[in-house]
Structure 1
Amino acid sequence: MTIRTERRNDALSKERIVQAAIDILDGEGEGALTFRALARRLATGSGAIYWHIADKDALLAAATDDVVTQAMSGGAMSGGSMSDGGGDGVEPREAIRVIALGIFDAIDAHPWVGAQFSRAPWQPAMLRVFEAIGGRLWALGVPEAAWFNAWSALVTYIFGAATQNAANARLQAPGTDRSAALADIAGGWARLDPAQYPFLRQVAPQLGAHDDREQFLAGVDLILAGIGTVKGKSPPA
């Protein structure tokens, strides 16, 4: 009996469990992820899963780590330390844009990842992203006194905007035409009182025509441009 149990546990690898958890999270959301549901999907008992994963928090962390590892699998998105600026031969500013877009796409495909990041920002997956961005800021020549503020502005925007984008997509009913929905909102803005809402009326056409990924990267570029203004400045007295 012991030998059969060990073989069954070996066949049910942690990788299989994590992939099944990701499938449940993507398809049904975090509320549907239970060890009982996971056991049904894997055609096994809950005890066999506990052999590999201690609890739901550990399972969510492992699933998040798997998604981020896939997102950061490209050369420009590998870790890289502050001492070598990444060490991947990619220009630091472009590397930050690639990292940011990789996180955007990962959260867009797996909306639960954004909530997991905000809930547990100390997990290894999050720390790797933090370090990857920090290493590129070093390579850009940002003065030490501005490291934390520059890094904080970038990561707050990247994760906040990516998570909000995924949340907005979930608010729409399945099968909703995004272009039509944006056109409706833009049309409403265009009909606002010009005395009270002159700006919104002017940008309404841009809202209807914008691409989410391009808009996201434009925000990253604006932050990087601002960070560029502090390069070479002496630390405040």
Structure 2
Amino acid sequence: MATRTRRPERREEPLSRQRIVEAAIALLDTAGEGALTFRALAERLATGPGAIYWHVTGKDELLNAATDAVIATMTADTTSTAGTAAATPQEAIRTLALGVFDAIDAHPWIGTQLARAPSQSPLLRVFEHLGRHIQTLGVPHPAQFTAASALLNYILGVGGQNAANARGHHQHTSRTEFLDTTATSWANLDPDEYPFTRNVADQLRHHDDRTEFLVGLDLILTGITTRHSPIDPTPS
């Protein structure tokens, strides 16, 4: 009697591009960009690297897909929130900006990816949403690109720096300890060479990153709305 060959157990979930991207995000969050290899991803997915290549051609495509997945979810959430009747363009921009800031804080590798590929869809999603809100604010067409770009550069710059600080300076100390040490260093600087820095040392010690981010964002928004406020054509 012929021996029946036992078939391998079927996967509960078939391998898909979505599963691969989700696993890549988890690996990036826990170990960073340097740890993202197709071999490590294959081990996490209990498959072979060749099966992953069937869905994704290389690491660059995978990083872009992972970034796009996070940003797409974030922009969808902020769009639904900002789409309420009570939301002003300024509120919508704040919601979007804070969503990107929090996304970079939760996934520090995203900041690098957004800056690395300015023509790719993840960054364009953010730029497109900012641009729409700039249009709703009534900013004249010749100034729309500059206004949206200024906002985007601020969001990516501050968000990326915040993530870099969290990964670098705070690895061996808490945020409170790091700020306290830095503020003390500022307070002890030469008073003739660094009078301003010494004067704001205590503000550094007690500041909140998200609050400061929103204050800076409001400064830019105030400048945009003040400089490009719609002109009332009705004579006084």
Q: Tell me the TM-score normalized by structure 1.
A: 0.87
Q: Paired residue for 1:134, among 127, 131, 134?
A: 131
Matched, 1:179 2:176: yes
**Residue 21 of structure 2 corresponds to residue 18 of structure 1:** yes
Aligned CA distance change for structure 1 residues 221 and 173 (closer, same or farther; 3 Å): closer
Q: Aligned partner of 2:214: which letter?
A: L
- Secondary structure in structure 2 of the residue aligned to 1:11: coil
Q: CA RMSD in A?
A: 2.3
How far apart, CA to CA, are the structure 1 residues paired with 2:210 and 2:45?
A: 35
1:119 aligns with 2:116: yes
- CA shift for structure 1 position 87: 5.7
SS of alignment partner, residue 227 of structure 2? coil
Inter-partner Cα distance in structure 2 for 1:109 and 1:32: 17
Does the 8 Å CA contact 2:20/2:52 hold for their aligned counterparts?
yes
- Cα distance change, pair 144–171 in 1 and its aligned pair in 2 (3 A): same
Q: Which amino acid aligns with 1:191?
A: N
Indicate conservation of the 8 Å contact 1:64/1:116, yes or no. Answer: yes
Instruction: Report the Cα distance in structure 2 between the residues aligned to 1:232 and 1:179, rounded to whole angstroms.
Output: 41
Does the CA contact (< 8 Å) of 1:143 and 1:230 recur in 2? no
Identity %, equivalent residues: 57
Structure number with the bigger relative contact order (C-alpha 8 A, sep ≥ 6) is: 1
- For residues 43-100 of structure 1, the C-alpha deviation after alignment (integer angstroms, 9 at most, x for no partner) is 10111111111211111111001111222232x436xxxxxxx865321001100100
Q: Secondary structure at the match of 2:165?
A: helix
Task: Output the CA distance in 2 between the equivalents of 1:119 and 1:217.
Answer: 24
- Asked if 2 retains the 8 angstrom alpha-carbon contact of 1:186 and 1:207, the reply is yes
Aligned to 1:100: 97
Query: Please, which runs of 5 or more residues in structure 2 have no aligned partner?
Result: 1-6, 232-236
Q: Show structure 1 runs of 5+ residues with no match.
A: 79-85
Amino acid at match of 2:18: E
Normalising by the residue count of structure 2, what TM-score does the alignment of the two structures yield? Answer: 0.87
Deviations 1:146-204 (A, max 9, x none): 11111111000001110011001111353522112101111111111211111011111
2:192 equivalent among 192, 195, 198 = 195
DSSP 3-state at the match of 1:229 = helix
Map residues 38-49 of structure 1 onto 2, 5 A cutoff: 38-49=41-52
The residue aligned with 1:214 is: 211
From the CA coordinates, give the structure whose radius of gyration is larger. 2
Deviation (angstroms), 1:217: 0.8
Aligned to 2:38: 35
CA–CA distance in 2 between the matches of 1:168 and 1:20? 25
Q: How much has 1:24 moved relative to structure 2?
A: 1.2
Question: How far 1:232 moved relative to its partner?
Answer: 4.0
Q: Which residue of 1 aligns with 2:106?
A: 109
**How many residues are matched?**
223
Query: 1:72 is paired with a residue of what secondary structure?
Result: helix
